[in-house]
Structure 1
Amino acid sequence: MKANDRKVLIGIDTGVNTGFAVAVDSGNGGELRKVESLSITQAMSGVTELINLHGKENLKLFIEDARLRTWFTGGREKAQGVGSVKRDAQIWEDWCKEQELNYLMVHPKANATKTKAISFKKITGWAGRTNEHARDAAMLVFGRFARF
């Protein structure tokens, strides 16, 4: 299977620290290739690089849509952070439409968020270092090839 013929899933956990994960179809299911935390512009550049390598038709983005979250704890600062993350979700959706990308905005309840590092390694087999945002992004794409 040529690199540019492979199906690629990209997970995005919106926020100041954007979780960015890439899973590539290895012929026998998906394999995580990147699990990291970037700025929003670095993540968009990463998507663009993947488009150039694999083509738009072989990519699908799964983006956590914080606009759908209705439960919050914390004070005013937390509420401001939530507003920022919601705005980032809107930016991602607008950008995907402008780029004519295949994407899905995912309700936060539909993702296995806040997975601890040890559990994440056991579930995914990913041995590299991660943070909460990167793990949340990876969980958006892990195991999804059966449904792509």
Structure 2
Amino acid sequence: MTKILIGIDTGVNTGFAVAADRGNGGELQQVESLSITQAMEKVKKLIEKWGNENVCLYIEDARQRTWFTGGREKAQGVGSVKRDAQIWEDWCKEQCINFNMIHPQNNSTKYKAPLFKKITGWVGRTNEHARDAAMLVHRRFARF
């Protein structure tokens, strides 16, 4: 049975990635950056197609991050990302969607495009947010 894994990197530019786990880990199918509402609509459509029991979101939870660098503007951005993590968690609970909140230190992030392509084999264009979302589900074995 195919399981659909969706990676979400929260923020103004929501990283969104889809991987299909056919027993061999998450093979990337989609990697992009969207608005939060666009990402939520795509999640709904994937659930309609594959069934709620076969879809699970892996959401980076910035609320668990305790280390920050940068000035006041950076701190405001961090607050926004933390709020978005809470919105995603609340939305998944309200919609009865399978999800896991992932501690940032438990995800490989901030890969530059050339290394990301080498690791994942993904040849499409990406930005940092999309790549971070993809790393949440690439080669992850479904546990739901």
TM-score category, normalised to shorter length: over 0.9
Q: How many residues align?
A: 144
1:14 counterpart = 2:10: yes
- Normalised by the length of structure 1, the TM-score is 0.93
The equivalent of 1:46 in structure 2 is: 42
The equivalent of 2:93 in structure 1 is: 97
Structure 1: where are the runs of 5+ without partners? none
- Amino acid across the alignment from 2:115: S
Q: How far apart, CA to CA, are the structure 2 residues paired with 1:80 and 1:34?
A: 30
How far residue 31 of structure 1 moved from its aligned partner, in angstroms, is 1.7
The equivalent of 2:102 in structure 1 is: 106
Q: How far apart, CA to CA, are the structure 2 residues paired with 1:67 and 1:30?
A: 25
How far residue 146 of structure 1 moved from its aligned partner, in angstroms, is 6.0
Q: Assess if the C-alpha contact under 8 Å between 2:5 and 2:142 holds in 1.
A: no
How far residue 26 of structure 1 moved from its aligned partner, in angstroms, is 4.1
CA offsets 1:58-104 (integer angstroms, 9 cap, x no match): 01110000001111111111111000000000000000000111100
Q: How far apart, CA to CA, are the structure 1 residues paired with 2:9 and 2:40?
A: 12
The equivalent of 1:66 in structure 2 is: 62
Q: How well do the aligned residues superpose, as a CA RMSD in angstroms? A: 1.3
The equivalent of 1:145 in structure 2 is: 141
- Normalised by the length of structure 2, the TM-score is 0.95
Moved over 2 A (4+): 25-30, 145-148
The equivalent of 1:76 in structure 2 is: 72
Describe the shift of the 1:146–1:15 C-alpha distance in structure 2 as closer, same or farther (beyond 3 A): closer
Q: How far apart, CA to CA, are the structure 2 residues paired with 1:71 and 1:24?
A: 32
Sequence identity percentage:
77
Structure 2: where are the runs of 5+ without partners? none
The equivalent of 1:133 in structure 2 is: 129
- Amino acid across the alignment from 2:77: G
